Amino acid sequence: MDNYILVTGGAGYIGSHMTLALQAAGERPLVIDDLSAGLRSAVPDGVPLFAGSVGDAAFVGDIMDRYPIAAIIHFAASVVVPESVARPLDYYRNNTANARTLIDCAVQRKVPHLVFSSTAAVYGEPDRTPISEGQSTQPINPYGRSKLMVEWMLDDVARAHPLSYAALRYFNVAGADPDGRAGQSSPNATHLIKIAVQAALGKRDGLDVYGTDYPTADGSCVRDYVHVSDLVAAHIDALRYLRAGNPSVICNIGYANGYSVLDVIEVVKRVSGIDFDVRIKGRRPGDPAALVASNELAKSLLGWRPRHDDLETIVRHALAWERRLP
Ligand SMILES: NC(=O)c1ccc[n+]([C@@H]2O[C@H](COP(=O)([O-])OP(=O)(O)OC[C@H]3O[C@@H](n4cnc5c(N)ncnc54)[C@H](O)[C@@H]3O)[C@@H](O)[C@H]2O)c1
Ligand SMILES: O=c1ccn([C@@H]2O[C@H](COP(=O)(O)OP(=O)(O)O[C@H]3O[C@H](CO)[C@H](O)[C@H](O)[C@H]3O)[C@@H](O)[C@H]2O)c(=O)[nH]1
């Protein structure tokens, strides 16, 4: 295949796994990343990296003029739920307004397909779990709203222009490349499994549990943790699906398994064989009690076949990557 797959945010956690998976699939990835959270070193050798913002129309347009783009996979975003509560306008600018610029560039250059990183946060407090895609979307934090607005934009744009899209609503992405080539590298990451493995390895002085008074079995929040390699495989499946001429789709990516914060801590302690301090704190703003995916659509429509659906495996790979980091 001659044309490029543009990976925005390709120097970040998930994007760096995506470029590796694209290379393995025989595709030609090209990365745009402003390096606000990503690392240059996370982009594999031989993959062109353009440092700048997807919100800069002249910059993005110039790249698209020079490199024919077969599809865009749009990861670039601000990703921390409590930060979005404190700084909503930053999230609406980076996640919503900058996505609009990127989509506009794609429409002007007739890019045929776009895969969008959406999120389980669009559901808010779901009325039923596991959550299926038809359930109502009532996000309870600016992060979820900033992403839901992009889904709406894509829906309108796909009706008006020859662009088909897949909006993949990821549940909680975790773990690292099983071959040790990529992982979550940010020292300031806020994600639970990352923090727990850092605590196990003595990189943090323990872990705070944000709330044990939720309406869940043990009172802590429940999430559906999906291995990053299975997640990026879903994007390869989505590309294949769109290129086959199928209509746009919105699809959950998760395992339909819920684990509480206390479950995760127990697994990290057991897999690492290391005890660490756990402090029970109050709730964190913006957290829904439980988010667990129904994944029937991803399996039936995209042909998604998860291979690492096991919390111990996810934690083992996250630990292995954390040990390699300085
Ligand atoms: N990690 C999760 O659990 C999770 C869950 C649901 C959805 N997502 C979505 O997946 C995507 C990737 O998340 P991640 O966990 O890899 O985060 P990340 O912060 O590691 O990656 C995001 C990347 O985008 C870059 N970026 C940010 N704004 C940019 C801009 N305006 N222009 C160019 N580059 C920009 C950052 O430098 C970074 O490299 C995000 O859209 C996020 O909302 C993540
Ligand atoms: O030190 C910590 C970190 C997290 N948590 C708890 O662990 C759960 C998971 O928190 P994360 O920060 O790991 O993830 P979120 O569920 O807040 O959000 C993640 O998953 C969402 C989808 O479910 C979004 O897409 C988002 O980008 C991504 O960060 C939450 O209940 C949180 O309160 C703690 O108790 N202590």
Residue 121 in contact with ligand 2 by CB distance below 6 A: yes
184 occurs within a structural domain: no
Q: Tell me: do 65 and 110 sit in the same domain.
A: yes
Cα 211 off chain centre by: 24
Residue 186 lies in a domain: no
Task: Give distance in angstroms: CA of 161 to centre of ligand 2.
Answer: 36
Q: Are strands 207-210 and 278-281 parallel, antiparallel or unpaired?
A: parallel
Domain check: are 218 and 78 in the same one? no
Same-domain status, 229 and 266: no
Cis preceding linkage at 130, omega within 30: yes
How much distance in Å is there from the Cα of 290 to the middle of ligand 1? 22
Catalytic residues: 143
Q: Are residues 23 and 169 in the same domain?
A: yes
User: Is residue 168, in this structure, part of any structural domain at all?
Assistant: yes
Contact, 18 vs 72, CB < 8 A?
no
* Residue 183 belongs to some domain of the structure: no
263 CB near ligand 2 (under 6 Å): no
Pair (103, 131) in one structural domain: yes
Instruction: List own/partner pairs for 88-91 with CB under 8 A and 24 or more apart.
Output: 88/142, 88/146, 91/142, 91/143, 91/146
Look at residue 64 and tell me if it is in a domain.
Answer: yes
Q: What is the CATH number of the domain that holds 56?
A: 3.40.50.720
- If asked whether residues 299 and 245 sit together in one domain, one would say no
Domain shared by 28 and 144, yes or no = yes
Residue 18 forms part of a structural domain: yes
* Substitution site in 141, 143, 192 for ligand 2 pocket (most atoms within 8 Å of beta carbon): 192
28 and 163 both lie in a single domain: yes
Does 268 lie in the same domain as 152? no
Q: Is residue 180 part of a domain?
A: no
* Domain coverage including residue 242: 4-174+225-253
Residue with tokens 């992982």: 183
Q: Is 249 among the domain residues?
A: yes
**Per-residue pLDDT tens digits of the chain, which is 326 residues long:** 469 999 999 999 999 999 999 999 999 999 999 999 999 999 999 999 999 999 999 999 999 999 999 999 999 999 999 999 999 999 999 999 999 999 999 999 999 999 999 999 999 999 899 999 999 999 999 999 999 999 999 999 999 999 999 999 999 999 999 999 999 998 788 999 999 999 999 999 999 999 999 999 999 999 999 999 999 999 999 999 999 999 999 999 999 999 999 999 999 999 999 999 999 999 998 899 999 999 999 999 999 999 999 999 999 999 999 999 98
Strand arrangement of the beta sheet that strand 259-260 belongs to: 259-260, 222-223, 290-291
Model pTM score? 0.98
Distance of alpha carbon 148 from alpha carbon 144, whole angstroms? 6
Any ligand 1 atom below 6 A from CB of 12: yes
Same domain, 162 and 201: no
pLDDT digits (tens, 9 = 90+) for 134-187: 999 999 999 999 999 999 999 999 999 999 999 999 999 999 999 999 999 987
Of all protein residues, the one whose alpha carbon is nearest to atom 18 of ligand 1 is 12
What CA–CA distances, in Å, run from 39 to 64, 96, 108, 162?
22, 23, 30, 34
Ligand 1 in reach of 31 Cβ (< 6 A) = no
Structural domains counted in the chain = 2
CA 111 to chain centre: 22
Give the domain CATH number at 285.
Answer: 3.90.25.10
Q: Are residues 33 and 167 in the same domain?
A: yes
**Does 157 lie in the same domain as 129?**
yes
